[in-house]
Amino acid sequence: MVITDDNASAAETSSGGLRGVPTEFREWILKADDACPEQELTPALLAAQLWQESKFETSPEKATSDAGAVGPAQFLPSTFATWGRDDDGSGEASPWDIGDAVMAQGRMMCSLTRQAKSSGYPGDVRALALAGYNAGWGRVQEFKGVPPKSFAGGQTFNYVQIILSTMVRFQGPSLLQVSGSGSGAKALRKAVGRMGTPYAWGGGGPTGPSRGFCDGTNGYLNGSCVASSTVGFDCSSLVQYAYWPKTRLPRTAAAQYGATSDRPVSRSDLKPGDLLFWSHGGSGGIYHVALYAGEGNVVHAPRTGRHVELAPLTSAMPDGDYYGATRP
C-alpha cells in the first residue's frame, strides 16, 4: 500500500521533512536534526552535506579521502574521537557506522551553528558552520567569515556553496510512504529512498549510484556529455539496486524483462514493486523500466537531466510504447 505525504510522520513534519536519501540514512538524519535545538540545522542541510562528503557511500574504497577522512560523514579519527558515540548500540563507536557517523555529524554541526550565531561574523550562519566543518573553526575566525576563494584553492568556499545550493533536492517529506511486506514492497521502499538522485546514463548498480558515461548517443544534455560527471542511476540500475541482493536482476532493462518475463502481470493486476517496461517494438526493443508505485504511479529514473521521481504510469513514457509488466 502506498500513501501520500499527507500521512508524513510527526518527525518529518516538525523538522521540515526529508526526501531523496537512502533508507538506511533517513532515520539517523532525522534523529540528528531532532537532537539539535538550532533551527538553522535541518535534515536537508545534513543530507546535502553527506551527499557532498561521500555521496552516501560507506565502503573504505569509496569513503576514504586522501587526507585520511573516513566514513559517510568524512571524519578524521581525531575529530571523531571528540564527537563520536556508539549511537547505534553496536558496542563500538565507529565513523563507518551510519548511525554513529550521522549523529556525530549532527552534534558537530549543531555546535558549529551555535558558534556561528554567537560569533557576530557576517553572512549565513549555515555557511559559517559548514565552513567550520570543512576547514576548522579556526579558519572561520581567521577570516572572520567563510574563507574566500583564494584559500585552499577555493575548496571550503565551493564546499559551502554547493551544499547550500543542493539542499533543495532533499527538502520536504518523501512523496511516498510505502507500507506492507514482501519483496515488491521492500524494493519499492528502497527505490523511494533514492528519489531526487540524478539520472546518469550507465551509472549506478547494486551498491548505489555511481558516475555514468556517454556512448555517442546517450548521456548528453544540450550537446555536452553530462553522464560522466554525474553520480546517479539510470532506469535499470535503479531497479537492480532496489531488488538487490535478495533478487539479483541483470543490469539492463531488456535483460531484466528477459529474466522476469515468465511471470507476466496484467495492467489491471499491478502491485507495488512490479516492473513495467516500454519498448520501441517487441522484447528486443525494450528501452525503459520502472517500478509500479500503486495508485497509477511509477517510480523511475526517466532520462538525462532529470532525477529519480514519481510519475503517472500513463505519462512516464509514451503510453503507446508500454510493453507489459512482470513480477520478479
The secondary structure of residue 205, as a DSSP letter, is B
Considering Cα of 77, then 78, then 84, then 89, what sign does the dihedral take?
Answer: positive
Residue 18 has a pLDDT of 83
Last residue of a domain, one of 116, 141, 170: 170
Question: Which of 145, 170, 195 marks a domain boundary?
Answer: 170
Residues 201 and 125 occupy one common structural domain: no
Confidence band of 19 (pLDDT split at 50, 70, 90) = confident
The pLDDT, as a whole number, for residue 10 is 30
- Does residue 289 belong to any structural domain of this protein? yes
Clarify whether residues 247 and 135 are in a common domain.
Answer: no
DSSP state of 197: P
Other beta carbons less than 10 A from residue 83's beta carbon: 21
Considering the domain boundaries, does residue 71 fall inside one? yes
| C-alpha cell read off for 294 | 500503486
C-alpha 162: how far from its chain's center? Answer: 15
More confident residue, 6 or 229: 229
Q: Partners of 322 in the beta sheet? A: 278
pLDDT, position 14: 32
How many CA atoms lie within 13 Å of 195's alpha carbon, on the beta-carbon side? 23
Closest CA to 99 of 29, 23, 17: 29
| pLDDT at residue 307 is higher than 70 | yes
By C-alpha distance, which of 146, 114, 142, 149 is closest to 128? 146
Helix (H) or strand (E) holding 224, with range, is: strand 224-225
First to last CA, the chain: 18
| CATH code of the domain in which 295 resides | 3.90.1720.10
42 and 135 assigned to the same domain: yes
Grid cell in block for residue 87: 549511537
C-alpha cell at 180: 506492507
Domain interval for residue 129: 8-170
One domain, residues 164 and 223: no
Tell whether 144 and 112 lie within a shared domain: yes
Segment 225-252, tens digit of pLDDT? 999 999 899 999 999 999 999 999 999 9
Task: Grade residue 325 by pLDDT with cuts at 50, 70 and 90.
Answer: very high
| pLDDT tens digit sequence for 79-124 | 999 999 999 999 999 999 999 999 999 999 999 999 999 999 998 9
Task: State how far the Cα of 164 lies from the Cα of 45, in Å rounded to an integer.
Answer: 7
pLDDT score at 173 = 65
Q: Quick one: 148 and 210 in the same domain? A: no
Question: Does residue 1 lie within any of the structural domains?
Answer: no
Model confidence over 177-211: pLDDT tens digits? 787 889 999 999 999 888 888 999 999 999 889 99
- Identify the pLDDT of residue 226: 95
Domain match, 182 and 161 both: no
Shared-domain flag, residues 304 and 217: yes
Using the predicted structure, report yes or no on whether residue 168 has a pLDDT greater than 60: yes
Q: How many other CB atoms are found less than 10 A from the CB of residue 123?
A: 14
Q: Is 96 inside any structural domain?
A: yes
| Count of domains observed in the chain | 2
Q: Sorting pLDDT into bands at 50, 70 and 90, what band is 175? A: low
* 177's grid cell: 510512504
The Cα 322–Cα 204 span in angstroms is 24
- Final residue belonging to a domain, choices 124, 151, 170: 170
CA distance 154 to 148: 7
Q: How far is CA 93 from the centre of its chain?
A: 24
Same domain, 114 and 194: no
135 and 207: one domain? no
Question: 21-63: per-residue pLDDT in tens?
Answer: 888 898 899 899 889 989 899 999 999 999 999 999 999 999 9
Place of cell 523500466: 289
Q: Is the same domain home to 199 and 295?
A: yes
**Which CATH number belongs to the domain containing residue 16 in this structure?**
1.10.530.10
**Is residue 287 helix, strand or coil?**
strand
Long-range contacts of 154-161 (CB under 8 A, 24+ apart): 156/131, 159/52, 159/130, 159/131, 159/134, 160/127, 160/130, 160/131, 160/134
Higher pLDDT, 71 or 9: 71
Secondary structure (3-state) at 170: helix
User: Alpha-carbon distance 16 to 20, whole Å?
Assistant: 14
Q: Please give the mean pLDDT across all residues of the chain.
A: 91
How far apart are alpha carbons 30 and 327 in whole angstroms? 33
Q: Which grid coordinates are listed for 266?
A: 496484467
Same domain, 188 and 322: yes
